[in-house]
Structures are given as C-alpha cells and as structure tokens.
Chain A
Amino acid sequence: MKYLTPASFAEAASLARDASGVTRFLAGGTDVLVQMRADIVTPDTLIDIKHIDGVRDIIRGADGGWTIGVATPGAEMKEHAELGAEWPGVVEGMDLIGSTQVQGRATLTGNLCNASPAADSVPAMVAAGVEVTVSGPDGSRRVKAEDIPVAPGRTSLSKGELISAVHIPPRGDNGGDAYLRFIPRTEMDIAVVGCGVNLRLDGDVITEARVSLGAVAPTVLLVQACADTIIGSTLDEAALDRLAEAASAACNPITDKRGTVKFRTHVAGVLAQRTAKIAYGRAKGETK
C-alpha cells in the first residue's frame, strides 16, 4: 500500500488520477482505517489530505455563508459558537457521529463520501442546501451535497476527483434547521431513520422548506413532497399529519438487522414531525 501526503488539491487529484487499484482519501480516517482493520477494504493507495493548507479552517464568506475545510473534525464545528448558532442542525448532525474520540477526527466530507445511506451529517447538509467544491485534474466544479452519493458506498466523483471544500449557504433571517435520528441505543449506533429539516418563516408562516430523510432509501433523500406539505402552513396539526404521511410515503427502505421496512416507514413520519417542530421553534427564535 502506498501512503501519500500531497501539499495541494491539484497534486492530490493528479496522484489519484495516476493511481491504480483501490484508492482512498484519508480525512479523519474513521471509516477508512476501520474498514482496513476489519479487512473490508485494503486500499492500494492512501492519499492523506490533511497536509494541504487550510483544510481544517472554518471561514465566513463575504455573502455570510460558511466554508468548511475538508479535514475539519466535528469537534471543531461543535466548538464554533457562531456556526452552531446559525446552523444548529448541521452541527448536531455532525456531532451525533461516534464518540468524543471519533469527533476529534471525523469530518463532514468523509461522512458524505463514505456514501452510507445512514450517514448522520448528510440529511442535515442536504436540508441546509450545502454544496461542495469538487477538484479534479481538469479544474473544479460546484456540486449539491445530495448529488454526491449515488448508491450505498458509491459517489458521483470520477477517478482523480476529490472534494476540496464544503459550502454552507448564508443563514439569512427567520430561518432554522434541525436534525434528528432514531437509534435503539442513545449513542454509538447507526441511524435506523434520520431526518433533516431547514425552513424559513414569514411571521408564523413557513415560506421555504427543505426536508431530507436518511436510512430509508439507498441514498439520502431530499423530499420535495414533504416540504410542500408544510410550506404555507404554521406547522399546525393538519400540516404535521400531512408531513408524516408524505415522509412515510417517500420511504423506500430495506428490512435488515437494524430495522424493518414497516418500522422505518413509520418512524420516518414521526421523526419528520419532531424535526420540523424543532426547526420551526428555532426559526421563530424561541429555542436554540
């Protein structure tokens, strides 16, 4: 196995393009190293991106949005007061990953590119409207977070491409987001269902909404039908009922050791309601 430490994304991209066999990027390594130890994936080339300048930075953009470096661990995001105040859902989604030890390493980018349907930060990123910069040998492009995973364990990135930055949009006024997951234990578990909600209000009325679901389909879903049930409402009982129905209807899960189709479908509806209520409270400025 070759272990490489490029100093720039351009170098990383050309190393990846020229590598043969199985290539992995090493961000926090909390998926890659575990998969190596468990004899699931043994890469031929391991490209550590942590030696590139600025990969651990959290930067406020001119438009008020945020750029998160691709090696920024969850713990840094959690400690960033402004980021947490504006995007509590994204920070929570990331913070739910693993334990204190894992938080010292794990990243948004790694969570997105590992492409697990149950990845915890991804529904929150998708609901928030996050985009990433993809750098390749021939330059770079912006891609929506929801367009990165294409199937369990597979991304839309082509050979030689990697993510070089994560962009969270400006929060703007009267907005709020939230992420909830259901796990049988209280920690150290994989989401049986995850739900992200991001919305904006005009007074009490929801004017914009994005609702995402995790672990109920091969990839994280952005569900327009869910958003439609609550846009224009004050998140009253009737709207919440419609939301739960739409969330359950959007599910296309499997039965496995972590949950049945029936259970996942039902709990998706419950979680969508609970998550929407938290996001709504935050948008109103009533809760943090």
Chain B
Amino acid sequence: MALDEYKPQSGDAELENKELKYVGTTPDRPDGLDKVTGKARFGADLSLPGMLFGAIVRSPHAHARIVKIDASKAEALDGVKAVVTRADFATGLEGEYGFVLENVMAGEKALYDGHAVAAVAATSALIARDAAKLVEVEYEVLPHVTDVDKAMAEGAPVINAAYADASVPEGMHPNVVRHHESGHGDVEAGFAEADLIVEDTYVTEAAHQGYIEPNACVAQMGSDGKGELWVCTQGHWYVQKHCAALLGMETAQLRVTASEIGGGFGGKTTVFQEPVALALSRKASRPVKLALQRSEVLRATGPTASASMDIKIGMKKDGTITAAEGTFRLQGGAFPGAPMEFSAMCAFACYDLANVRQVGWDVVSNRPKQAAYRAPGAPMAAFAVESVIDTACNKLGLDPLEVRLKNAAHDGTKASWGPRYDQIGMVATLEAAKAHPHYSAPLEPGQGRGVASGFWFNHGGETSVSLSLSEDGTCQVSVGTPDIGGSRASMALMAAEVLGIPYENIRVTIADTATLGYNDVSHGSRVTYASGLATIKAARAAVEKLCQRAAAKWGIEEDAVKWEDGCAVPSGANAGDFDPLPLAEITATMGSTGGPISGHFEATPEGAGVSFGTHIVDAEVDQETGATKIVRYTVVQDAGKAIHPAYVEGQYQGGAAQGIGWALNEEYVYGEDGRLQNTVFLDYRIPVASDLPMIDAVIVEVPNPGHPYGVRGVGETGIVPPLAAIANAVSNAAGVRLKSLPMNPPKILEALEDQAGDA
C-alpha cells in the first residue's frame, strides 16, 4: 500500500437529493447460500489436473545470514518436482517491489522468525512437508531485536543500514527509517494557557488481522510464459502487478482471479506465498497449490505495527483543550512502512485544536513485515490520545462526552493533519452517543464505563466497473474490488436504484484482471464509495442508451425521454404521449435496435468523505484475578448513507469485536530467542463468541457530498475507538489507569498491585 494514497481528497460534488427506493433496504446477501452450504470456493478450493502442492522452508532464527542452502536431499525425495530459492526470482528490483521480494523470499539474510528461505513443490502436501524439512540451510545467527524502543536504542543490531530515507535526522539509530512531523499553531503557548497538563506514555503490541482463511492460492505457469493465478486476496490487480514484477514477466501475461475471501481486514492487501507458488509452477511446469498453515500466517504474514507513544494534552478547567502533542514510534517489522504517519495524522483528528503537533517514527526490527489492518496506525494513536483525555476528564471532574463535544471538529475545522473539513459527522456521533440509553444506564459495582472517539480518512482509488443488460431485462455488474464486507449486495442495490429494476434481477461478479481496467485493492474503506460511485455511473450510462432506444422507437428527441422507476417515459407533456416503456421491453429487442446495451465507468474518484465514530463500553474487572468482562458495548458511527444497513452494522460490530481482542488478549509474544511463542489460535487469543456482549450499532448519516447517495466508507473507522474506549472502561472499573495493551489479567493485577503499593 503506497502511503501517499491517503492524501487529502476533494472530489466533485456528487450528492443528489432524491427519494431512494432500494438503497437503505436489507435484502439477503447474494453469497449467503453458497457460504452456509459450503459451495463457496475460497483460495484453497481450486484443484487442477496434475496439480502439485507447495511448502515453504522458513527461518527458525530471528536474524541470520544465510550461508548456504543445500536442497539436494529434498530434490532426491520421490514426488518432489521443484525447489526454489531467491535465485528463481527477478533481480534488480527497487523500492517497494524490492522490499516485497525480500519479504517473500529472503536473499542474504533471514530477517525474522518464519522468514521464507526456500520452497518445494511435490505431488502431495505430505511429501512437500517432508521435503521442506530436508532442505538444509546453513545460518550464521546474528543478534536480533524485536521491541520498538530497544530497536531505536544505541547498540541495537542493525537490520539494514540502507533503509533510512532523507526524512530521518542525523544521529538516529539506522533502524529508524522514516520520520513525519505535522501540526499547526504554537503548542508551547497552548500548554502555557492550560489549567491541567497530562503527559503519559502508552504502548501497544502487534495484533494480527486474524482472518479465518489462511492465505492460499493456485498458480499455473505455462511454458509459453503466460500465467494464471487463483487467489484469496483483497486486490488482484495489485497481486498481478507485484507477482509479474517479482517473476520478471509482463503484467498482462498473468491473469489473476480472486476467490471468495475468508477475511482480510487489510492483511490480504499484499502478497506472501503467491509469487512463490508461481515460481514453483514455472520451475515444475505444473500447477501448484500453496496454502499456508495458521502458524505460518502468524509467523510470516503481516500483523499490524506495535507502538510506543508519548502524549501531552493541556486542558482548561472547562474542558477546552489548549494544546496537544504526540510522538508515535511504530515498529513494522523488518522493512520500512509502519504506518506512523497515519497514527500521527489521525491522533487528534477528531478535535478542533488551535495548537497541535504530532511526530512519527518508523522503526524496523526482527519481526514480520507489517501489513495493513483496518485503519492502519489509527487505533493505537486513539488508544493513547483518548486515554489521556479520559485521564484529564477524571482529574477535572468533567463528563467525557461533554468534553469531546466542546472540542469536537465540525464543518470547516482545520484538521490536525492539514486540510479543512467539508461536511463531517463528529458532532453528530457524539450527540447520538449522549442520547443513547446506554450512556445514562446505571453501572453495577465493579463495573466502569469508557467512551472514546476515532477518525479515519477513507479512500477513493483507481476504479473500473462494467455493467451489461440481458435480453430478459436482468443486469450483470462486473466490479474489480473483492467483496470483503458485502459489497456485492451494495453494488446491486445501487444499480437497482439507478435502473429501477429489482435487486434480485442483478448479479454482481468480481471480474478477473483480464476483464476490467486496473482496480485498486479493497482497502481504505473505499469499495462502497468508489466502486459504488462507478456502478452508479455505469448504470447511468446504460440508462442513457435505454432512453436513446425509446426515443428512436417513439421518434422523438433523445432529451425528450427520461428514466423513471425502471421505464423510459416522455420527459414532459410536450414530448408526446407514450406509455412508459419498461427496461425489459427495450432489452428484448436491443439486438435489432442498435446492439447490446451496457454501461462502463472508470476513474480515480477523490471525494471519499472522512468518517468519525464514538464508542461506549461497560467493563467489569475481577479484582482478584484481573479478568475483564465486556458487559455492554455501543458503537455510534457516521456512515454518510447506509446502502445496506445490516452490512453496515456488521462492520461496526466487527470493528468492536476485533478491538476487544486487541485490547484485552491478543498479542505477539516473542521469546528471548526472537521466536514467536504463540503461533496458533489457542495462544493467539482472538475473542470467541462467548467473550462478546451483543454489540449495539447506531448508524448516523451525515451525507458525504462526494457520493451520489452520500456514502462514506465504514470498514475501518469502527476499529479506531475500541482500544481506547475499552481501556477507559477497564481503567475506570479497576480504579487504575492501564497504559499498555493487551490489558490481560496478569497486567491488570500488576497495575492494581502497583497502585496498592503507591497508596
């Protein structure tokens, strides 16, 4: 993911004020039946004639020079058809391609526990597994570091002396590879005006996206140099481009098809095993299936970054924030790219501040290359900032929602990260939270309540959509954004709205890379906004043609026909007196009235509206064991316009559920040896269903001017407030401030004990 993708956006005014018939309803999801009956095909569900199975050889060391790889024993094993190492990939790649290749297959050094160093393909998965064990790799083990603060400290082992870019000031440790600074006003003057200054350090551990479907693909390279790839991914054009580059082939020669996807949450916006499967297939001249084990997913695919953050906030007695300052040190594994600028830019974005400054540091260490995880960088920043605001509210005896309302960003506010906000929903979410019965419900003894707000940019991106009508009046829509959150239903609803035909008459398909123009990945909460906008415009293009056919039939001017409720109608009394002509009647004869009718739209829309949310959480802490139970949870978030409200609620609930995991129990546990200790879901503790309360979802709708129906993306904002809201609830329940995630039972007991010691 290129970091410049989230540049401030300002699109055309698109909003139309029109009564909506289909948009806003909640029809059945089109993929539901296939998924519950097991018919849906995921990454590992394709099998081809003559197919081989791949397995990856991984470094057991956190940091080691690869002295020698001897694959002769593996190659001699019956059934083994190919072994690949770095020598089987393109050379001379630079920038992000270079980093991705280095991550996908180590070159001179293994940079983290689980780093791929070789791979084998064999006639069965078991033979491949055994063969992988026979590949002999000689390592020279090097000192390692896995902690962000230690990685920046003097004497820390250097991951790669050439990483740091020009933004890093002289004198920093070479593991500090990028630097960001932004803000406005005069923070020193602001702090001087404050009645109270709260200053604290907060830390978070890395958390994995925890998608249920392990990364998997089936690759087929022909001896003519053409390739096919079936893969579970959030963006197959990205996969196409990167795999082609890593294999040294031309992009158009590789056709990539996206399978159904069992979760991604940002983690499937890059490549891991895909180029390896292609390289194995090229070498063996046979199709290769490569499906990762869960332990490989946790050791070697990208979790989010871990963070260490210093926050300082000045507040007046009435709750006015006079100045805010934050430093965000993010560890994103062995490669540059930790989203520290997003942490910095989102940290104070909810507020209208006269004086604000934020600094970010990108730090490398011997951990897997971080990947995006819903609103990358923002949740940890919100955890630190919203905890400090809560501390200040407690100290001054102020209501935390009132204080947020007092300082809330509104239409026209100059954002902490630069631009002026257009029409935004921060105040509306706070008002809705305040009015919600949850906020005034009494608490039981031992319980505490926390609130927190959060911000995310949202994104547009390259988008291309085609839509075609069938003779019977039904419609097929081809989009290029894998459906990770119900987008097929939303696209069908938007197409139905424009065409005026029922939702059930529309089938939406995720097209492969050969059938549409480049589509950016399904990330940045962009799909319902951008693919939705393109679907609407593609449908409008088809409507225009439908109107032309009606005009020709009636023998009137094209602009004397308009489209209403699925029919062409004369635009006014002067246009003539004709019965409405339904879509299906026009398409029935389209072959002889001018040919097939379709619509297409492509653009890089820039009107993704920013989004805000506010969460309310009640937590109960067992003071004897440190165990926490989340007893009530309410999400309030601005959706702009909820196209399919049930899916929007699902996004909100999912954000809260993942936030509960990240806040309470999920963490990467590294041993002294630099190896990941918890490589399965038994010990990498994502929440189970019984850990979660019913999560109440409140949809606020402040329309985004950049979308015809007002859509703002909703996929990411929902995970921004939870860490903070839960930390505030737990801290208020325990009576002690928790400053480190995860807030697992030993940590809570420790904090309680320290406090007892203080008193």
Q: Show the binding face of A for B, using Cβ within 8 Å.
A: 38-39, 182, 184-190, 192, 256-260, 262-263, 266-267, 270
Whether A182 contacts B627 in the complex (CB less than 8 A), given A257-B669, A260-B746, A266-B749, comes out as yes
**8 Å CB contact of B749 from A190, A256, A257, A263:** A263
**Complex-state Cα separation, A286 to B586, whole angstroms:** 78
Residues of chain A contacted by B627 (CB below 8 angstroms)? 182, 184
Residues of chain B contacted by A256 (CB below 8 angstroms)? 677
Contact call A189/B685, Cβ cutoff below 8 A:
yes
Contact call A188/B625, Cβ cutoff below 8 A:
no
Contact call B678/A185, Cβ cutoff below 8 A:
no
Residues of chain A contacted by B744 (CB below 8 angstroms)? 184
Size bracket of the B interface: 20 to 34
Q: Is B745 an interface residue (CB 8 A)?
A: yes
Residues of chain A contacted by B36 (CB below 8 angstroms)? none
> Hey, what's the 0/1 contact readout for B677-720 against A, CB within 8 Å counting as 1?
11010110101101100000000000000000000000000000
Q: Is B283 an interface residue (CB 8 A)?
A: no
Further contacts, 10 of them, CB under 8 A, given A184-B744, A185-B690, A257-B677: A38-B295, A185-B665, A185-B685, A185-B687, A185-B688, A185-B691, A187-B690, A257-B669, A263-B745, A266-B749
A-B contact count (CB 8 A): 50
Q: Is B444 an interface residue (CB 8 A)?
A: no
Which partner residue on chain A sits nearest B626 by CB separation? A263
Residues of chain A contacted by B626 (CB below 8 angstroms)? 263
Residues of chain A contacted by B632 (CB below 8 angstroms)? none
Which partner residue on chain A sits nearest B684 by CB separation? A257
Distance between B120 CB and nearest chain A CB, rounded to angstroms: 15
20 intermolecular pairs with C-beta atoms under 8 Å apart: A38-B680, A39-B129, A182-B627, A184-B627, A184-B664, A184-B744, A185-B665, A185-B687, A185-B688, A187-B688, A187-B690, A187-B691, A190-B682, A257-B669, A257-B677, A257-B678, A263-B626, A266-B749, A267-B745, A270-B625
> Hey, what's the 0/1 contact readout for B650-693 against A, CB within 8 Å counting as 1?
00000000000000110001000000011010110101101100
Q: Is B624 an interface residue (CB 8 A)?
A: yes
Residues of chain B contacted by A266 (CB below 8 angstroms)? 749
Residues of chain B contacted by A38 (CB below 8 angstroms)? 295, 680
**Complex-state Cα separation, A38 to B680, whole angstroms:** 10
| Residue picked from A182, A186, A260, most chain B C-beta under 10 Å | A186
Which partner residue on chain A sits nearest B690 by CB separation? A186
**8 Å CB contact of A184 from B129, B624, B665, B669:** B665
Distance between B361 CB and nearest chain A CB, rounded to angstroms: 28
**Complex-state Cα separation, A263 to B753, whole angstroms:** 11
**Complex-state Cα separation, A188 to B625, whole angstroms:** 19
**Complex-state Cα separation, A258 to B749, whole angstroms:** 15
Which partner residue on chain A sits nearest B623 by CB separation? A270
**Complex-state Cα separation, A114 to B687, whole angstroms:** 26
Contact call A263/B688, Cβ cutoff below 8 A:
no
Contact call A182/B625, Cβ cutoff below 8 A:
yes
Distance between A18 CB and nearest chain B CB, rounded to angstroms: 26
Q: Which 10 A-B pairs have the closest CB atoms?
A: A263-B746, A186-B690, A257-B677, A257-B669, A270-B624, A187-B688, A257-B678, A187-B690, A184-B665, A188-B688
Distance between A44 CB and nearest chain B CB, rounded to angstroms: 15
**8 Å CB contact of B688 from A186, A190, A259:** A186
**8 Å CB contact of A258 from B295, B683, B687:** B683
Residues of chain A contacted by B677 (CB below 8 angstroms)? 256-257
Residues of chain A contacted by B680 (CB below 8 angstroms)? 38
**Complex-state Cα separation, A270 to B625, whole angstroms:** 7
**Complex-state Cα separation, A203 to B691, whole angstroms:** 40
**Complex-state Cα separation, A208 to B688, whole angstroms:** 39
Distance between B692 CB and nearest chain A CB, rounded to angstroms: 9
Residues of chain B contacted by A187 (CB below 8 angstroms)? 688, 690-691
**Complex-state Cα separation, A266 to B624, whole angstroms:** 9
**Complex-state Cα separation, A187 to B687, whole angstroms:** 9
Contact call A184/B745, Cβ cutoff below 8 A:
yes
Residues of chain B contacted by A39 (CB below 8 angstroms)? 129
**Complex-state Cα separation, A258 to B746, whole angstroms:** 10
Which residues 301-323 of B sit at the A interface, judged by CB distance below 8 A? none
Which partner residue on chain B sits nearest A266 by CB separation? B749
Contact call B687/A257, Cβ cutoff below 8 A:
no
Residues of chain A contacted by B682 (CB below 8 angstroms)? 188-190
Residues of chain A contacted by B665 (CB below 8 angstroms)? 184-185
Distance between A104 CB and nearest chain B CB, rounded to angstroms: 18
Residues of chain B contacted by A259 (CB below 8 angstroms)? 746
> Hey, what's the 0/1 contact readout for B622-650 against A, CB within 8 Å counting as 1?
00111100000000000000000000000
**Complex-state Cα separation, A259 to B745, whole angstroms:** 9
Distance between B108 CB and nearest chain A CB, rounded to angstroms: 29
Residues of chain A contacted by B625 (CB below 8 angstroms)? 182, 267, 270
Distance between A190 CB and nearest chain B CB, rounded to angstroms: 6
Contact call B749/A184, Cβ cutoff below 8 A:
no
Distance between B633 CB and nearest chain A CB, rounded to angstroms: 15
Distance between B726 CB and nearest chain A CB, rounded to angstroms: 14
Which residues 240-254 of B sit at the A interface, judged by CB distance below 8 A? none
Distance between A181 CB and nearest chain B CB, rounded to angstroms: 11
Residues of chain A contacted by B687 (CB below 8 angstroms)? 185
Residues of chain A contacted by B683 (CB below 8 angstroms)? 190, 257-258
Distance between B205 CB and nearest chain A CB, rounded to angstroms: 12
Distance between A42 CB and nearest chain B CB, rounded to angstroms: 9
Distance between A144 CB and nearest chain B CB, rounded to angstroms: 29
| Residue picked from A188, A190, A192, most chain B C-beta under 10 Å | A188
Contact call B746/A186, Cβ cutoff below 8 A:
no
Which residues 65-102 of B sit at the A interface, judged by CB distance below 8 A? none
Distance between B488 CB and nearest chain A CB, rounded to angstroms: 30
Distance between A26 CB and nearest chain B CB, rounded to angstroms: 19
Which partner residue on chain B sits nearest A262 by CB separation? B746
Which partner residue on chain A sits nearest B129 by CB separation? A39
Which partner residue on chain A sits nearest B629 by CB separation? A186
Residues of chain A contacted by B664 (CB below 8 angstroms)? 184
Residues of chain A contacted by B678 (CB below 8 angstroms)? 257
**Complex-state Cα separation, A182 to B624, whole angstroms:** 11
Distance between B212 CB and nearest chain A CB, rounded to angstroms: 14
Distance between B303 CB and nearest chain A CB, rounded to angstroms: 16
**Complex-state Cα separation, A259 to B746, whole angstroms:** 7
| Residue picked from A190, A192, A258, A260, most chain B C-beta under 10 Å | A258
Which residues 613-627 of B sit at the A interface, judged by CB distance below 8 A? 624-627
**Complex-state Cα separation, A267 to B664, whole angstroms:** 18
Distance between B340 CB and nearest chain A CB, rounded to angstroms: 28
**Complex-state Cα separation, A186 to B693, whole angstroms:** 12
**Complex-state Cα separation, A256 to B683, whole angstroms:** 11
Distance between A33 CB and nearest chain B CB, rounded to angstroms: 15
Distance between A78 CB and nearest chain B CB, rounded to angstroms: 17
Distance between B268 CB and nearest chain A CB, rounded to angstroms: 24
Residues of chain B contacted by A258 (CB below 8 angstroms)? 683
